[in-house]
Amino acid sequence: MMNATLEENLSGIANQLRIDSIEATTAAGSGHPTSCCSAADIVAALFFGHMRYDPKNPKYANNDRFILSKGHAAPLLYSAWAEAGLFPREHLKTLRELNSDLEGHPTPRLSFADVATGSLGQGLAVGVGMALCARLDNLDYRTYVLLGDGECAEGSVWEAASLAGVKQLNNLIAIVDCNRLGQSEPTSLGWDTDAYRKRFEAFNWRTEVIDGHDMEEILEVLGAAGLGKQPLAIIAKTVKGQGISFAADKEGWHGKALSKDEAGKAIAELQPKAKSGVAEAIQAPSNLPLPKNEAPASYPAPNYKIGDMVATREAYGSALLRIGEVDQRVVAMDGDTKNSTYADKFFKKFPDRSTECYIAEQNMVGVASGFSTRGKVPFASTFACFFTRAYDQIRMAAISQGNVKLAGSHVGVSIGEDGASQMGLEDIAMMRAVHGTVVLYPSDAVSTEKLVEQMALHKGVCFLRTSRPKTPVIYNNDEAFPIGGAKVRRQAAGDKLTVVTAGVTLFEALKAADALAKDGIGVTVIDAYSIKPLGSDVIRAAAQKTNNLVVTVEDHNPEGGIGDAVAGELSKDGIKVHKIAIRELPHSGKPQELMAKYGIDADGIAKTIKALV
């Protein structure tokens, strides 16, 4: 009797959420009401009959987490939090307005959205990161991820499913809202819920196939969440537009708000079965000790000698280990390259804080985002070129205001023999273009170490570009490398031109400067270790002393890299920038041969400069 009432009440709340979603989208004149309707029963069951959380404090660290991977059902999420009492229901009608944070897709401008969603197929990876973090922090919150069926075509879903299966994340629950209809046509699998079941089982998940509108079934399978060792996938057969007779299970309704008339009809159908404020009290989360997640007062100093030959990728590994010793927030992940990126130094010392993500870069960045939402400082590493694989996840991490640190090694032609597919030649452009990022490109071990510290202390998405070849240490262990700075490495009165560069080409530029000096041509050389934000003041001041003439040198394609950064920022001050970059599709070869062939070695730089002065 008690249970029956609970179920009736939850079904009633689901209908209220449908009404709220319809009203909000109709008021906005756009949105995805039918995508809300299919998932309304599931969300009602989760929020008002199952999850343990503090509805007044969505950020409480041991609340169960809910990720709306199908972000276009945002109005449903907003309606649930209004029903939970976080804000007045009337506010829902500000959906999609400029001055309301109830945006078209959820973002962490809202206290209850841990990450931004809306680029499909990304929620489960974030959930894997959260579930792993729960284990690390000895917390018993569970992570629930609501996916659309359409987004299960994204490979990122299966990357996440694979790692969750391997890690036996029984604190992770995926719910697939299998409503059969995509945006432009039915999904490839339609209502073949058995196909989804087989897929998740093949990835080592426990599965349940249910009627996603049968509250009894929903509660029953949710009640068994957390049992066994496997993550749980609930495949819920649903109807898109459920509850709206004229739109239910019909093509052509995706992403369309109902007209006022249509909304009136739909609400008339739903209202008699709708309830509000009738839920049992929401279950409180357990009161467990919470992790502090505080930065240490300081980090121990690195210890190099000027002239030591150390690849910056190796210094990255040393730095991660060094700061990890004192900064418990630091966790690491890698994509089966950790013996090349040197993340393995950290992995060996701190296995519990390390996650091997295998060759699945999208998931790796999603996992990092998940850790980031829980107060950790995740450092994810692979070859720089393979971060292109996760560009959408990086973009979404920025929209999520995430605190994700990426270290991309093996940049440019200076990797040598492996060839173009392994060379990071677009990474600066890619990372600069994302809102709010920090892009760092150290040349020696000390600057690498110091920049890793800066990354850990800076809130936001940061990218560190490291190189394969060994380079000499040129800075003292106590040199400071603030984000947004640059270092003048060589400068004299009468210099004809300023070279701005970083990484392996800094050393080529210095050699070129030596050679040019013998011909009586003085050049200033700047280490632009901070590409975004750029050390503009340092560069401008130096350039103004050299007749505003600048040459940039980079082991990167010509577009969007150091040259464009300097020109884009400083041309308005009258500074003239000549770019030296990789202008051909590179071949395999020895590092020094390739640097010569593509004009970024000392000879090539000197030749270009001679033609300019």
Tell me if 597 contacts a copy of itself by CB under 8 A: yes
Options 111, 286, 421, 476; binder of a copy of itself; rule CB under 8 A: 421
β-sheet bridge partners, residue 330? 377
Judged by beta carbon, residue 74 or residue 139, the one nearer a copy of itself is 74
Judged by beta carbon, residue 459 or residue 587, the one nearer a copy of itself is 587
In the range 265-284, which residues lie near a copy of itself by CB under 8 A? none
In the range 457-486, which residues lie near a copy of itself by CB under 8 A? none
Tell me if 248 contacts a copy of itself by CB under 8 A: no
Judged by beta carbon, residue 398 or residue 513, the one nearer a copy of itself is 398
Options 46, 577, 602, 609; binder of a copy of itself; rule CB under 8 A: 577
Tell me if 188 contacts a copy of itself by CB under 8 A: yes
Tell me if 410 contacts a copy of itself by CB under 8 A: no
Among candidates 237, 159, 152, 239, which has minimal Cα distance to 188? 152
Judged by beta carbon, residue 13 or residue 22, the one nearer a copy of itself is 22
Burial of 292 (0-12, 13-18, 19+ CB in 10 A): exposed
Q: How far apart are CA 453 and CA 379, in angstroms?
A: 11
269 as an active site residue: the answer is: no
Phi, psi of 93 (to 5 degrees): -75, 0
Q: How far apart are CA 564 and CA 158, in angstroms?
A: 37
Q: Which stretch binds a copy of itself (CB under 8 A): 482-490, 497-505, 521-529, 579-587?
A: 579-587
Options 229, 272, 572, 611; binder of a copy of itself; rule CB under 8 A: 572
The amino acid at 267 = I
Q: Coil, strand, or helix at residue 218?
A: helix
- Distance between start and end Cα atoms, the chain: 90
Q: How far is the CB of 452 from a copy of itself (least distance, A)?
A: 20
Options 44, 315, 399, 497; binder of a copy of itself; rule CB under 8 A: 399
In the range 350-369, which residues lie near a copy of itself by CB under 8 A? 356, 358-360, 362-363
Among candidates 385, 390, 373, which has minimal Cα distance to 421? 385
Judged by beta carbon, residue 86 or residue 596, the one nearer a copy of itself is 596
Q: How far is the CB of 476 from a copy of itself (least distance, A)?
A: 32
Contacts of 232 (CB under 8 A, 6+ apart): 170, 172, 173, 174, 205, 206, 207, 208, 221, 224, 225, 226
Among candidates 164, 158, 99, 104, which has minimal Cα distance to 129? 164
- Angle (CA) 535-541-546 rounded to 5° is 120
In the range 500-559, which residues lie near a copy of itself by CB under 8 A? 532, 557-559
Q: How far is CA 129 from CA 296, 362, 372, in A?
A: 23, 12, 8
Q: Coil, strand, or helix at residue 34?
A: helix
Tell me if 240 contacts a copy of itself by CB under 8 A: no
Judged by beta carbon, residue 54 or residue 392, the one nearer a copy of itself is 392
In the range 127-186, which residues lie near a copy of itself by CB under 8 A? 150-151, 153-159, 162-163, 166, 182-185
Judged by beta carbon, residue 105 or residue 487, the one nearer a copy of itself is 105
In the range 40-79, which residues lie near a copy of itself by CB under 8 A? 71
Q: Which stretch binds a copy of itself (CB under 8 A): 270-278, 487-495, 538-546, 587-595?
A: 587-595
Fill in the per-residue mask, 209 to 228: x = in contact with a copy of itself (CB under 8 A), - = not in contact: --------------------
Q: How far apart are CA 393 and CA 400, in angstroms?
A: 10
Q: How far is the CB of 284 from a copy of itself (least distance, A)?
A: 32
Residue with tokens 């029953």: 220
Instruction: Please count the residues of this chain forming the interface with a copy of itself, following the rule CB under 8 A.
Output: 117
**Residue 324 CA from chain centroid, whole number:** 21
Contact 24, 35 (CB under 8 A): no
Judged by beta carbon, residue 99 or residue 287, the one nearer a copy of itself is 99
Among residues 361, 453, 508, 554, the one annotated as catalytic is: 361
Q: How far apart are CA 565 and CA 534, in angstroms?
A: 7
Q: Where are the beta strands (DSSP E) in 394-473?
A: 405-409, 438-440, 462-465, 470-472
Contacts of 339 (CB under 8 A, 6+ apart): none
Among candidates 373, 283, 287, 243, which has minimal Cα distance to 84? 283
Judged by beta carbon, residue 305 or residue 583, the one nearer a copy of itself is 583
Whether residue 351 has a cis bond before it, omega within 30° of 0: no
In the range 280-339, which residues lie near a copy of itself by CB under 8 A? 334, 336-339
Options 27, 136, 295, 433; binder of a copy of itself; rule CB under 8 A: 433
**Residue 481 CA from chain centroid, whole number:** 25
Q: How far apart are CA 257 and CA 512, in angstroms?
A: 63
Q: Where are the beta strands (DSSP E) in 315-441?
A: 330-334, 354-356, 377-383, 405-409, 438-440
Q: How far is the CB of 122 from a copy of itself (least distance, A)?
A: 9
Tell me if 85 contacts a copy of itself by CB under 8 A: no
Q: How far apart are CA 82 and CA 10, in angstroms?
A: 15
Q: How far apart are CA 200 and CA 7, in angstroms?
A: 28
Judged by beta carbon, residue 71 or residue 302, the one nearer a copy of itself is 71
Options 434, 451, 483, 516; binder of a copy of itself; rule CB under 8 A: 434
Q: Which stretch binds a copy of itself (CB under 8 A): 15-23, 208-216, 397-405, 446-454?
A: 397-405
Q: Which stretch binds a copy of itself (CB under 8 A): 208-216, 308-316, 368-376, 425-433?
A: 425-433
Contact 555, 412 (CB under 8 A): yes
Q: How far is the CB of 360 from a copy of itself (least distance, A)?
A: 4
Q: How far is the CB of 431 from a copy of itself (least distance, A)?
A: 9
Q: How far is the CB of 178 from a copy of itself (least distance, A)?
A: 14
In the sheet that 354-356 helps form, which strands lie side by side, from edge to edge?
354-356, 330-334, 377-383, 405-409, 462-465, 438-440, 530-532
In the range 18-37, which residues lie near a copy of itself by CB under 8 A? 28-31
Judged by beta carbon, residue 363 or residue 447, the one nearer a copy of itself is 363
Could you give the residue numbers annotated as active site? Answer: 361
